[in-house]
Amino acid sequence: MDHRLADLLQLLELEPLEVNLFRGESRDIGAPQVFGGQVLGQALTAAAATVAGRVVHSLHAYFLRRGDINAPIVYQVDRSLDGHSFSNRRVVAIQHGEQIFNMTTSFQVTEGGYDHQIDMPQVPPPEGLPDPAPAPELLEKLPDKVRRFFSHTRPFEFRLVQPVDYLRPKPAPPLRQIWVRAVGGRLGDDEMLHRRLLAYVSDFFLLDTATLPHGTSFLKPSLIMATIDHAMWFHRPLRVDDWLLCAMDSPSASGARGFARASIFARDGRLVASAAQEGLIRQR
């Protein structure tokens, strides 16, 4: 297994402290605070540790405070419901005695029912698209903040259907499609693992989609961006070790907030998940 993915899998595992109480560590990915996807993934780990025989189908989370990369995060789970088909959990993440995040998530027994979905957009396959990482010679010329973000090795690889120039952004429609896949080959068949990893990576590009019409990007020092809330729905079995297409759009930005949503498709066209996010987008 690739060492980057192995490190992420270790990061998503938590230390049990007491019944319904867990502790996790953090990783520095080049951002000034704990990456939101890390907290999502760890919170799902905590919730899933209290559920048996059911798989997560939705989550709704709020990011309350910036996480400190240098301090552990404690996750407290409330077992809100264990019904005939569904289990509901509320997870609170705590650092330095304060809540930094809370999430409600629901698990369901696997069962059949009506089945329909929207069509996957017609886009080029990932093999024909370039890696969005800057070339090494360009990386050396970038400001420290930008170089730090792009030089960090990641456990996922991305292929952008629409190229984005983060350093010289121009106004564009609020639409984006990105192929994403975990590095390092095939993972196991644990559905919960694949859903935790998708939750982790879902926080990478969503909110940035809301900046596209305005000719700016998260790398501009004049722009403040932070996730406020994040929701996901898991529709069908998925694998993050094969390419997934994240088709994103931003219907609205107003009141210093941007809203974005994503339909996530397996390579065979199945709609496997949906996501939505609202975040702060404020000019200094």
- For the question of residue 203 being annotated catalytic, the response is yes
Pairing of strands 86-95, 55-63: unpaired
Token duo for residue 255 = 């009141």
Task: Output the pLDDT for position 139.
Answer: 60
Instruction: Give the CA distances from residue 48 to residues 12, 45, 89, 193, in Å, rounded to whole numbers and listed in that order.
Output: 12, 5, 9, 10
What are the tokens at 201? 């990576």
pLDDT of residue 184: 84
Q: How is the chain split into domains, by residue range?
A: 3-111+127-283
Contact between 265 and 272 (Cβ < 8 Å): yes
> Cα–Cα distance between 276 and 105 in angstroms, integer?
15
User: In this predicted structure, what is the pLDDT of residue 2?
Assistant: 82
**What is the DSSP pairing of strand 86-95 with strand 257-266?**
unpaired
Q: What is the pLDDT of residue 141?
A: 57
Q: For residue 84, what pLDDT is reported?
A: 96
pLDDT of the residue at 146? 61
Cα 72-73-77 angle, rounded to 5 deg: 150
Buried b or exposed e, range 204-219, using 16+ CB within 10 angstroms:
bbbbbbbbbebebbeb
- The active-site residue out of 177, 209, 216, 277 is 277
Tokens at residue 32, please? 């000034």
Q: Which residues, in sequence order, are CB contacts of 141 under 8 Å at separation 6+?
A: none
Tens digit of pLDDT at every position of the chain (284 positions): 788 899 999 999 999 999 999 999 998 877 778 999 999 999 999 999 999 999 999 999 999 999 999 999 999 999 999 999 999 999 999 999 999 999 999 999 999 999 999 999 999 999 989 877 665 655 665 666 566 666 667 899 999 999 877 777 889 999 999 999 999 878 999 999 999 999 999 998 899 999 999 988 777 778 889 999 999 999 999 999 999 999 999 999 999 999 999 999 999 999 999 999 999 999 88
String of DSSP letters for the chain: --HHHHHHHHHH--EEEETTEEEE-----SSSS--HHHHHHHHHHHHHTT--S-EEEEEEEEE-SPPPTTS-EEEEEEEEEE-SSEEEEEEEEEETTEEEEEEEEEEE---------PPPP----GGGS---SPPHHHHTTS-HHHHHHHHS--SEEEEESS---SSS-----SEEEEEEEESSS---S-HHHHHHHHHHHTTTTTGGGGGGGGT--TT-TTEEEEEEEEEEEE-S---TTS-EEEEEEEEEEETTEEEEEEEEEETTS-EEEEEEEEEEEEE-
Phi then psi dihedrals of residue 222, to 5 deg:
-85, -5
Q: Give the pTM.
A: 0.92
Q: How high is the pLDDT of residue 143?
A: 60
- Looking at 42, 95, 203, 216, which residue is catalytic? 203
227 a catalytic residue? yes
Nearest to 199 by CA among 74, 58, 26: 58
- Residue 136's pLDDT is 61
In CATH terms, the fold of domain 3-111+127-283 is: Porin (2.40.160)
